[in-house]
Amino acid sequence: MLLKNPAALILPMKNSLLLLFLSAVQFLNAQSNDTLLTKKGDVVYYDFNGKVASRLTFVNNLPQNGSATRFYFSNRHYIRTFYTNGKITKIQNAVNNYIQQEEIIQDNESRQVTRFYPNSKVRFSYRTHKGHLDGTIRHYNEKGTLLYEALLHEGHFSNGTLWILNMDYDGYKGTQADYIVLKHYTLRTIIEGHIVANTIVFFIKTITHNPLHPDLTDYFLSPEDLYDNMIISHDLRDLRLRN
């Protein structure tokens, strides 16, 4: 692509380089604090304006109680990790200065996740186990109205209604659909292909494929399979597990 005015890029490039430099300085400062000053006592995490963002107490160079905050390029984007008695109990991810996601750490393999809209209304509520959806999932619109509710067991769609990305689900994929709606009952699953205007572009009724567990399908679903659930968290990039 040819640029009519290359000089117009100079200022944005300078600003980007400055933000990158400041981010690197802030990261290195935090790393320095972590390695040199955290053997005992409190470590203070600052934002780019020099204001206190959080505090974390260390004992024998191990985090114990409080929270650690990592900023990415500006004060508007950060990850805050909470510790209680040496264990991570909660992780908050902020994007554009609002909490986009909050995870409650239940154990090494399970997390309760709540995702939010910019107006702080709940967007999604679900649990993960070994990276798969597990338990009840609820999806709301920006006004707080429930859009659907579904039950899953270790990634298996068990009951209710679920919206997923337009992908190859049990061999069915609608090339014209923006997303797929699954409506699962005891012995059958209804698969509908939808476009954003809520128009059905295809409709399929199928029998489940698991004779030992007729209420469960054989497909494993993860949070990133959900429609309208774009994950940009640094901590969740590698959660996807497929069996």
In tens, the pLDDT along 24-65 reads 444 444 443 444 443 578 999 999 999 999 999 999 899 999
Reported as a pLDDT band with limits 50, 70 and 90, residue 164 is confident
The domains of the chain are located at 17-101, 106-228
Cβ neighbours of residue 7 closer than 8 Å, sequence gap 6 or more: none
CB 165 within 8 A of CB 179: yes
pLDDT averaged over every residue in the chain: 75
- Of the listed ranges 18-27, 142-151, 188-197, the least confidently predicted one is 18-27
Reported as a pLDDT band with limits 50, 70 and 90, residue 198 is low
Reported as a pLDDT band with limits 50, 70 and 90, residue 191 is confident
3-state secondary structure 115-139: EECCCCCEEEEEEEECCEECEEEEE
Q: What percent of the chain has pLDDT over 70?
A: 62
- Of the listed ranges 4-13, 107-116, 157-166, 179-188, the least confidently predicted one is 4-13
Q: Quick check: pTM over 0.75?
A: no
The pLDDT of residue 240 is above 80: no
Query: Could you count the other beta carbons within 10 Å of the beta carbon of residue 150?
Result: 24
CB 89 within 8 A of CB 82: yes
Tokens 């005992």 correspond to 40
The pLDDT of residue 201 is above 90: no
More confident residue, 189 or 42: 42
